[in-house]
């Protein structure tokens, strides 16, 4: 099982799409192990997007990120990072396929609704930025045998 961080960005919150987006992950079968609404500080935004520092879109990205509250989620599931990123769609909403979150709800290239970790190392780092250990919950969902084929006693 893999963990990933999701940020429902300011445009998701402002457009009241958070419930629809979260329900997609729940319906897919991902386990929510952390969830909260927060406001990302400028310091935190600069830390989170440090890889893009110096690029022409960096400062507008920081302004956008800190402009309104966000919802952060820690999700757990089989191949969570890969599957979540497919569900999100291409980075630019205008280029995202219908059926993806961005393809269904985004047109802007900057206001693209959602962030998802891109690797296990990023997920671990990002989850650590947004959640304390006390804010993450490990529990055994009763529906796992129905989400994953566990007919052999383990996830297949």
Show which residues are catalytic: 115
Task: Please count the other Cβ atoms lying within 10 Å of the Cβ belonging to residue 97.
Answer: 11
Dihedral sign of CA atoms 72, 55, 100, 117 in order: negative
The vertex-14 CA angle with 73 and 122, nearest 5°, equals: 30
User: Residue 71 has which token pair?
Assistant: 């919802």
Confirm if 78 and 148 have CB atoms less than 8 A apart. yes
């Amino acid at each position: 099982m893999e963990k990933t961080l999701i940020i429902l960005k300011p445009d998701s919150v402002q457009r009241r799409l958070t419930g629809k987006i979260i329900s997609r992950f729940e319906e897919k079968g991902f386990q929510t192990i952390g969830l909260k609404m927060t406001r990302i500080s400028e310091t935190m935004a600069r830390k989170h997007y440090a890889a893009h520092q110096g690029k022409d879109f960096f400062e507008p990205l920081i302004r956008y990120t800190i402009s309104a509250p966000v919802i952060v989620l820690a999700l757990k599931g089989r191949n969570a990072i890969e599957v979540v990123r497919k569900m999100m769609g291409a980075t630019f909403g205008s280029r995202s396929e219908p059926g993806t979150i961005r393809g269904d709800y985004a047109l802007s290239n900057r206001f693209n609704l959602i962030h998802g970790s891109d690797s296990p190392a990023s997920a671990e780092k990002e989850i650590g930025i947004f959640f304390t250990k006390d804010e993450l919950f490990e529990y055994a969902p009763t529906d796992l045998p129905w989400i994953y084929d566990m007919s052999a006693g383990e996830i297949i």
